[in-house]
Structure 1
Amino acid sequence: MNGPAVYEPPAPASWRVALPHTAAAVPVARALVRTALAELEHPADSDTAELLTAELVANAVEHAAGEGPIELVVELMPTGCTVEVHDPDPVPPGDLTRPALPPADPWQEHGRGLLLIRSLSSSCGHRPTASGKAVWFRLPAVPRQRRPR
């Protein structure tokens, strides 16, 4: 005899992709995140995930020392998603968890990426890795009734 059915949440799905250390990595990373979220009909906001991923990858390309590849890691869970960008430079990115002083000038082309990540993600940060660092953000699942059609 079998006992009562027990709900087991689905295991997280993960993607890990190496990207070139060039500006060409930005649109590729956006497309990969869009595809990952769409394939599983994932409830995280795809537009926000793409925008923040593009910011992380662009920062890694522009600011990370070294020529090693950049790695994109996307983890999808029922509660949301986590996106990490690994690069070969161990130096932490600006001040990701607190507003920069002085604040970014809204008329300048650069300087707002970390502000976007802090503002639009549910959490963000960075951590050292064996080959450099990983910078990450999390987005929560969007309730079904609030998702765009």
Structure 2
Amino acid sequence: MPEPEIFRIPKRRQHVPAARHRIRKTLANWGITGEVADAITLAANELITNAVAHCRVGHAQVRITLTLQGAELLLEVADPDRDRLPRPHNSDPDEEHGRGLTLVAGLADAWGHRTEPYIKCVWARFTVTERLEAAHAPADL
């Protein structure tokens, strides 16, 4: 089982692509590719973007954690604005924003949030069975 991947980015939109790239690289290093990696990366993008956009603590950092345990990957995005908990938003069809958590709910097996003494953490859990199937596949003869 690999060590968790933990990193931080400044609370600025310009750092979201670098976080997305690091997540994609970590997933590839762990053997997670294809549609599962796409779903995890898209969900991560939404959660990180929400943290960057909605955290009202100045000069904050957003902490991203990826943990792989067997066939389960846990994505956690934490920021210090623990009083602003995420809520899914029912967007009108012509609204450009407000669908991120609904998208995460559709991509992940489960999602939620928790508060700790100094942060709030939004998490999403994914099953990554393709990684296990590839690891146990017979070698070509």
Q: TM-score range by the shorter chain?
A: 0.7 to 0.9
What is the TM-score normalised by the length of structure 1?
Answer: 0.79
Superposed counterparts of 1:1-149, under 5 Å? 11-42=1-32, 45-67=36-58, 68-96=60-88, 100=89, 103-143=90-130, 144=133
What is the TM-score normalised by the length of structure 2?
Answer: 0.83
Unaligned runs of 5+ residues in structure 2 are 135-141
Question: What percentage of aligned pairs have identical amino acids?
Answer: 31
| CA pair 13-107 structure 1, distance change in 2 beyond 3 A | farther
Match of 1:95, SS state, is: coil
Unaligned runs of 5+ residues in structure 1 are 1-10
* CA RMSD, 1 decimal: 1.9
Question: Structure 1 segments of 4 or more deviating over 3 A?
Answer: 142-145
Q: Distance in 2 between matches of 1:104 and 1:121?
A: 20
More helix by share: 2
Deviates more, 1:56-65 or 1:135-144: 135-144
Maintained 8 Å contact 2:85/2:120: no
Q: Distance in 2 between matches of 1:75 and 1:91?
A: 25
- The aligned length equals 130
Choose 1 or 2 for highest CA Rg: 1
